[in-house]
Structure 1
Amino acid sequence: MDDLNGRTAFITGGARGIGLGIARACARAGTTLALVDIDEEALAHAKTELSGLTRTETYVLDVRDRQAYTRIADRVESELGTVSLLFNNAGVYDGISPAKMNYALWDWMMGVNVGGVYNGLQTFIPRMIEQDGDCYIVNTASAAGLATVGTGFLYHASKYAVVGLSESLRAELARFGIGVSVLCPGPVATDIVHNTQRLRPEHAPTHSQGGAAVLERAHESLNSLGISIDAVGQMVLDAIRENRLYIHTDEAVAAAVKARTEALLSALPSVLDARRGMSAGTDERV
């Protein structure tokens, strides 16, 4: 997909962080913006900033709410035209210890990070197929969806799911003319840690003092070492134009991905080993 000018983009989590970076890049490319977020105040700030570059409308939505998602999608296409660029970007982070895990936290994280992505896909893929393709979808996962690094087993699980979903969808949607990429960012200068801690469900387990300290260090690390949201936004648009499946922002997990791949390959039984096992079984029966 070379020309993004005049298209309509639907961006969840679009009021801040990576979503805002993607919105800025799209605005510079002449794309009409439908920014979707749970934070009404942040949406207002984003609209003020971006309206000078392109037509921008904002919509308050919890991506877990399927009925509301459909209503918002209908409004967007009525007000801004057919959506041909879908960015399933909304996400939350939590690094709770397995010793304190509970269902409330699981439902919340999977509901936003995986369910929110699927709700976007379920809402827009049938519409994209009906308009004969020429559309593109970007799902935001994480480098944590490629290899297990650091803490946050629930977060890792949710992002592994988004990677697998994106990989399989890319193959199946290609025949409809719909492209798919998965964004796997490393450290990015966002406020995701603090923002999502304010959104934690009422019955989520509280962090221990040590766990809270780990989260604070993660927040500081992201903002001191992470690349800018604008750099990520441009990377995303470049990947769309080049129809690339994976979008990486750095090489931070390269060693971990290599180690995981080697471990997977080494665990596969060779054809020769399988035949030897069958022969041994036959000999034993004789």
Structure 2
Amino acid sequence: MRELSGRVAVVTGAASGIGRALAVRFAAEGMSLMLADVDPRGLSQTAAMISGVKVLTQITDVSDAPAVQHLAHRAFGELGAVHVLCNNAGVFQGGRIWTRTEEDVAWLLGVNLWGVLHGIREFVPRMIEQGTEGHIVNTVSVAGLFAGANTGGHAVTKYAALAASQSLALDLAQIGSKLRVTALCPGGVRTGISRSERVRPADLVVARTRDDLTSQEWLDGMLEKGMEPAEVADATVEAIRQEHFLVLTHPGYDDSLREQTTALLAGLLPEPPDGEPRP
């Protein structure tokens, strides 16, 4: 899908970080936008950064199926079509996997996995019916490729999001669809994901554990040295144009993937890439 001007993009998690950068980048390409997030203030700020194209916003909790259905109804109804869908909303919860509560896991699964699945179910059938070129971008994270210590709950959801992306791509190819899929796997990017607790639903809030807080401190440090979200947005547009399935944002992750595969085939526990949590 090389021509973006005049097309329509939907971006979840658009109030900040990668989602905001995607919105700004798509607008620069001349795309109309439907932007969604649970953060009203951040969403309004993102919309205010954009001019020259039509922008709609919708407060949307992607873990809630009816909310995503409403988002899709508005996007198709008011913008006429959807050509690029970015299932980008995501949250982080660290800590050892045996200390994660049901509330922790429900929150992570709700946003990081069900958010992707709800987006696929509500948008993709109608995108197929359009009969036009289109692209689905799922923000998976490098955590969907490399599981690390103290991030088990998060990695579970991201591995599942990668599997969903790959299955979607194969399903679309099987029916001869013009839609393509990208699994976006950023590493350290200067976003606010380490402070995801600020948007955690009140009914899923539990007391923070020491290992959880330690993991957050590690992530804070990694993100502080990370790349700018705009660089990820640029890589995403390039992936859409070149129809790339997997996007790795940082040098060295390709070598780490090869090393991980070699270790697994030898029956060994893979070492995480440099900068990722280790035993």
Partner of 1:179: 180
Say whether residues 1:145 and 2:158 are aligned partners. no
- Kindly indicate whether the alpha-carbon contact (under 8 Å) linking 1:142 and 1:184 is maintained by their aligned counterparts in 2: yes
2:251 partner letter: E
Q: Deviations over 1:161-215 (max 9, x none)?
A: 1111111211221211110010000100001111x11233444443334531431
Say whether residues 1:168 and 2:167 are aligned partners. yes
1:110 partner letter: L
1:237 partner letter: V
- Kindly indicate whether the alpha-carbon contact (under 8 Å) linking 1:101 and 1:205 is maintained by their aligned counterparts in 2: no
SS of 2:94's equivalent in the other structure is coil
SS of 1:78's equivalent in the other structure is helix
Partner of 1:280: none
Q: Once superposed, what is the RMSD of the aligned Cα atoms?
A: 1.8
SS of 2:49's equivalent in the other structure is helix
Partner of 2:220: 219
In 2, Cα distance between the equivalents of 1:146 and 1:36?
26
| Higher share in helix | 1
Say whether residues 1:15 and 2:24 are aligned partners. no
- Which protein shows a greater Rg? 1
- Kindly indicate whether the alpha-carbon contact (under 8 Å) linking 2:142 and 2:185 is maintained by their aligned counterparts in 1: yes
SS of 2:266's equivalent in the other structure is helix
- Kindly indicate whether the alpha-carbon contact (under 8 Å) linking 1:100 and 1:205 is maintained by their aligned counterparts in 2: no
Equivalent positions of 1:1-286 (< 5 A) are: 1-50=1-50, 52-174=51-173, 175-194=176-195, 196-201=196-201, 202-223=203-224, 225-267=225-267
- Kindly indicate whether the alpha-carbon contact (under 8 Å) linking 2:12 and 2:88 is maintained by their aligned counterparts in 1: yes
In 2, Cα distance between the equivalents of 1:257 and 1:124?
31
2:90 partner letter: G
TM-superposed CA distance for 1:127, in Å, is: 0.2
1:12 partner letter: T
In 2, Cα distance between the equivalents of 1:207 and 1:78?
42
SS of 1:44's equivalent in the other structure is helix
- Kindly indicate whether the alpha-carbon contact (under 8 Å) linking 2:12 and 2:89 is maintained by their aligned counterparts in 1: yes
- Which deviates more, 28-37 or 167-176? 167-176
Percent identical among aligned pairs is: 34
Q: Deviations over 1:85-122 (max 9, x none)?
A: 10000000010223422111111100110000000000
**TM-score calculated relative to the size of structure 2:** 0.90
In 1, Cα distance between the equivalents of 2:2 and 2:204?
46
**TM-score calculated relative to the size of structure 1:** 0.87
- Kindly indicate whether the alpha-carbon contact (under 8 Å) linking 2:144 and 2:160 is maintained by their aligned counterparts in 1: yes
Question: Structure 1 runs of 4+ off > 6 angstroms?
Answer: none
Any unmatched runs of 5+ in structure 2?
268-279
SS of 1:198's equivalent in the other structure is helix
Query: CA distance change for structure 1 residues 254 and 244 in 2, over 3 Å: closer, same or farther?
Result: closer
1:178 partner letter: L
1:120 partner letter: G
- Kindly indicate whether the alpha-carbon contact (under 8 Å) linking 2:20 and 2:46 is maintained by their aligned counterparts in 1: yes
Any unmatched runs of 5+ in structure 1?
268-286
